[in-house]
């Protein structure tokens, strides 16, 4: 099934509260921590991935605005790409 994968890149601050913000808009999402390198420095970062339709752009924008306010930051970086998804529910059967 064709979907859009949205990735939100933000500062690694108040992750529990960020999860609450994202959870208001989406039931399913993933959060990954990492190290961002920029301008010769580095800092902890958080990447939030959401797989949904193209229409999710409004909710993604709302999430970013809330994160910016809560983290006292200027912006979140957002990327999107078309992906094909499938759910595999079967378990391996013993030989």
Place of tokens 């609450």: 20
Residues 28-43: tens digit of each pLDDT: 999 999 999 989 999 9
Residues 55-73: tens digit of each pLDDT: 899 999 999 999 999 999 9
> How many other CB atoms sit within 10 Å of the CB of residue 66?
18
The pTM score is 0.88
> Tokens in use for 48?
């939030």
Ordered domains of the chain (ranges, CATH): 2-84 (3.30.70.120)
Cα–Cα distances in angstroms (integers) from residue 92 to residues 71, 87, 88, 89, in the given order: 44, 15, 11, 10
């Amino acid at each position: 099934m064709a979907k859009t994968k949205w990735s939100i890149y933000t500062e690694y601050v108040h992750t529990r509260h960020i999860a609450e913000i994202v959870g208001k808009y989406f039931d399913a999402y993933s959060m990954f921590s990492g190290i961002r390198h920029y301008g010769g420095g580095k800092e902890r970062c958080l990447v939030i991935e959401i797989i949904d339709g193209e229409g999710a752009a409004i909710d993604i924008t709302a999430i970013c605005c809330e994160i910016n306010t809560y983290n006292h930051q200027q912006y979140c970086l957002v990327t999107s790409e078309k992906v094909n998804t499938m759910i595999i529910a079967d378990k391996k059967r013993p030989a």
